[in-house]
Amino acid sequence: MWALLVLIASMTASVQAAELRIALQDADTGAGVSDAVVEVLLPPALQQAHLAAMEVSVDQVEKEFVPNVTVISAGSRVTFPNSDDILHHVYSFSPAKVFELPLYGQGQNVDYFETFEQAGVVELGCNIHDWMLGYIYVAQTSLAVKTDEDGRATLSGVPAGEYTVRVWHPRSASEGKVVEQTLVFDDAQPANLRLALTLERDNRLRRAPNVSRTRYR
């Protein structure tokens, strides 16, 4: 009897899970917006049931953070390998996570990781290469996804109910780089989020400091 009750409860939870289909485009060009993060904000009472910590890597390739935008849930661990043949110095002064990984080269600090407990956006930089910017979006739960090169994404497993959906992009012109919208989720049909985002221009300069090439460049 107990096994039957567990099965019924599991099926009920599955039926009540909803899906969010996302399509984002640039308000100026109409092109799809990639690397935007879409998160469904759950009330505190539901967050623990949808929290899944993970382990991911943010690499450094050709003087860029790869991927440029990483999405994790609170409590996840991140490693920072260096695949370049030069030194990098990774840091963040963001309120959600302050840390520093001093100068290191390829194959070094392979066991180093940081745990990101607090939800928020963590901006990564390199003290050697000013143009290197990367972002770790720490979501409250696992109900967050990043759009692909066409500006599309699908998020499954949203519990039925009415929630705020947050859209964040590093170049969003909106206050706080976020746009929020309230959506109702149910198991009858997928919820759809279609937005046109106004983006700021990427004005980062690519340059290398004039120093010994045996150290960094």
Residue 43: cis peptide before it, omega within 30 degrees of 0:
no
Instruction: Give residue-wise pLDDT tens across range 39-94.
Output: 999 999 999 999 999 999 999 999 999 999 999 999 999 999 999 889 999 999 99
Its pTM stands at: 0.86
Domains of the chain: 18-50+142-200 (2.60.40.1120), 52-139 (2.60.40.420)
**pLDDT tens digits, one per residue of 167-193:** 999 999 999 999 999 999 998 889 999
pLDDT (tens digit per residue) in 123-162: 999 988 888 999 999 999 999 999 999 999 999 999 999 9
Q: Confidence band (pLDDT; 50, 70, 90) for 206?
A: low
Q: Categorize the per-residue pLDDT at 96 as very low, low, confident or very high, splitting at 50, 70 and 90.
A: very high
SS3 (DSSP) at 41 = strand
- Helix H or strand E segment including 87: none
CA 45, 46, 52, 56 dihedral sign is: negative
Under a CB-based contact definition with an 8 Å cutoff, are residues 179 and 149 in contact? Answer: no
